[in-house]
Chain A
């Protein structure tokens, strides 16, 4: 509205156009979907740096390829569906990064391309875009290529630190454990100079980024806490029953994709529950499934399957954990 008609000599006469709108009339500035995605990217930096160091050009080209593929597939799909563009929210970049970081360095380029495209398309676009998807898109992409190209998904080597060129072929710590009963030193697991997927090798990098993410409130700390709690309890119980000095509960916590998964994959807000209890449940569920898969199945690692399984349970978990309102009592019927 244009105010102050006929009141030229009041200070309000030069007043600007005023607007009306519903309350609240102010919003918190530093929160937006873009800002949250930017936070995830910042938090991933330590992981990315380590992967550059361990896997060199494998890491660089996989990360670039996956991000470009994810962003282009999303842009293209929205274009074809005649929907407003959504790539500016940054979520496709995050999906690309996480998908690439979950790939072994030696995966062929077409595996990356197909997986990234499948992740965005099957994992996100077909559900109706960001916020509507049930499954974590990066994990959908990874599951897709895992089924389509099982042979290409084995992590077969990383770049030697001494020469910077030679590829050292070796099993991942978890495969070595599963197939040969071999341990890996905690120091290696911490620093990341082992074989594995691009982003999973260094426990330290995952922790640093993960703490940042939780401290910013971008990821809910309850989810990683639940995962780590379940893994600690189950592996400690197993260790007490059957001690394996070369593979302690600490090894379980720091090896494989567990930390990457707990802090960066399971915490994807869209595909995890929103209630406090629901988040604990979700985290504990993932941790438990990971341990079941590690101990009982033929696979050495199970973060991806666990996340996908719990993703599908998230809506149910939310429904079963609706909190009581302040002052509410269970079973109370309103008149």
Chain B
């Protein structure tokens, strides 16, 4: 729906509210108190832990009193409001600063590989595909373990989202620069950009820019959840990630295209991660892809897209399969928000749940090869060792099973409960001497 619309820049909002804890790992400490004047890209939150990332101001302006809020993911965090001053970059200038302009491959050779991870951490870069895992941790462990291949994930993580697609079309060079830098940081891995076969224009754009760099552009089948690492790595390399393992275990590291572009900007231009591209789609009047400051209210993005249509019934941060429903339109955009999908009443309406008729559609569709119906049953009856035997912890929460279930059983929720419970059991078992 929005793949044909070029990235537009959201006009600078009068105020942003930047949550400090947006990623997996330790929450950063606030470093800019109320009434401080901050400039574009200045740190608002700093972290001491290794698995964490700082947070920066997307605007020049004045810090207001800190607040606490709950993100749609259920994470509670301190947030720093900043009201904009009059001298912020906007429009074309901002787009050029972040994605556009000249990206020179020559300069990459001069970058000290040991410095890249530190710069990435300092710029607050986390996985922009939605996972929000701090990227420097990935790069450092990749370097320690040694990887052969860096895959740049150009598959949209969910249906309806087009932010990565536009990024590859409009900022292919920035993405490839970031990939070259990331590979350099990992100790010189080969690079493959994986793109779904419904985005051949992106493949062409990337191939044009990749000429002479040794970067391969690989097309993979368009099939949700191809954007997941567990699906993507085998599709590109033929290697299966072992159950409970990471791509690192098969010598691969995966980064998202948005993350790659952010790395390029951090290392070559010294810019922090302050903006991201977000797809706004569904029941809005002008769906599109926006470059928006992290911390902007979802309401600002929806308004800029012409507002929601009268039959809108739910707004989801992320995609329709794994995203989180917004309870408040003032919820700020975070680093992991790849889209805002406005669903209509008929999309979200459900018939009442009925008994499982054991039709096995969930089994046939599960990309991980699980038996969702039985895990859900075990979770309902609180039979945790049964859930363990059914490999509940391997579930990637893609939602495919609940999507096809004719009995409308909340399979994913039940499986998530089982996963959480099993993780807890494992934790207590590990603590016991």
Contacts and interface: CB of A to CB of B under 8 A. Distances in A.
B330 to A, nearest CB: 9
A16 to B, nearest CB: 6
A298 interface: no
Given A12-B299, A24-B403, A322 B360 contact: no
A322 B390 contact: yes
A36 interface: yes
B359 A327 contact: no
A161 interface: no
Chain B: number of interface residues, binned into ranges: 35 or more
Nearest to A35: B406
Interface in B352-409: 354-361, 363-364, 367-371, 373-374, 388-391, 393-394, 397, 399, 402-408
Contacts of A147: none
A26 B343 contact: yes
A150 interface: no
B133 to A, nearest CB: 19
Contact of A28 (B299, B308, B326, B404): B404
B303 A327 contact: no
B357 A19 contact: no
Which of A3, A91, A276, A318 has the most chain B CB atoms closer than 10 A to its own CB? Answer: A3
A324 B407 CA distance: 25
Interface in A1-52: 1, 3-4, 7, 10-12, 14-28, 31-33, 35-36
B302 interface: yes
Nearest to B322: A23
A129 interface: yes
Interface stretch (B8-16, B58-66, B163-171, B238-246): B238-246
A3 B329 contact: yes
B71 to A, nearest CB: 13
B245 A327 contact: yes
State the majority secondary structure of interface residues on A: loop
B223 to A, nearest CB: 14
A245 interface: no
Nearest to A89: B354
B347 interface: yes
A280 B407 CA distance: 24
B285 A274 contact: no
A22 B369 contact: no
B326 A20 contact: yes
Contact of A276 (B324, B343, B363, B391): B363
Given A11-B308, A25-B314, A27-B350, A326 B369 contact: yes
Contact of B348 (A21, A131, A322): A21
Nearest to A36: B406
A279 B361 CA distance: 13
A258 to B, nearest CB: 23
B307 A11 contact: yes
Contacts of A217: 361
A275 B207 CA distance: 42
Contacts of A329: 242-243
A36 B359 contact: yes
B327 A275 contact: no
Interface string B238-271: 0011111100000000000000000000000000
Interface residues of A, number: 57
A130 interface: yes
Nearest to A334: B244
Contact of B361 (A16, A31, A271): A31
Nearest to A271: B358
B185 to A, nearest CB: 26
B393 A25 contact: no
Nearest to A21: B325
A201 interface: no
B413 A325 contact: no
Nearest to A33: B406
B410 to A, nearest CB: 6
A26 B371 contact: no
A25 B347 contact: yes
A16 B430 CA distance: 49
B433 to A, nearest CB: 16
B394 A328 contact: yes
B56 to A, nearest CB: 28
A12 B351 contact: no
Contacts of A328: 242-243, 369, 391, 394
A19 B325 contact: yes
B101 interface: no
A323 interface: yes
Nearest to A12: B307
15 contacts: A4-B329, A16-B345, A19-B313, A23-B320, A23-B321, A23-B325, A24-B322, A25-B316, A25-B347, A130-B354, A131-B407, A324-B243, A324-B391, A327-B245, A328-B391
Given A12-B307, A26-B343, 18 more contacts: A14-B310, A15-B308, A16-B311, A16-B312, A19-B314, A23-B323, A24-B399, A25-B347, A32-B351, A33-B407, A36-B357, A130-B355, A131-B357, A132-B355, A275-B371, A318-B374, A322-B371, A335-B430
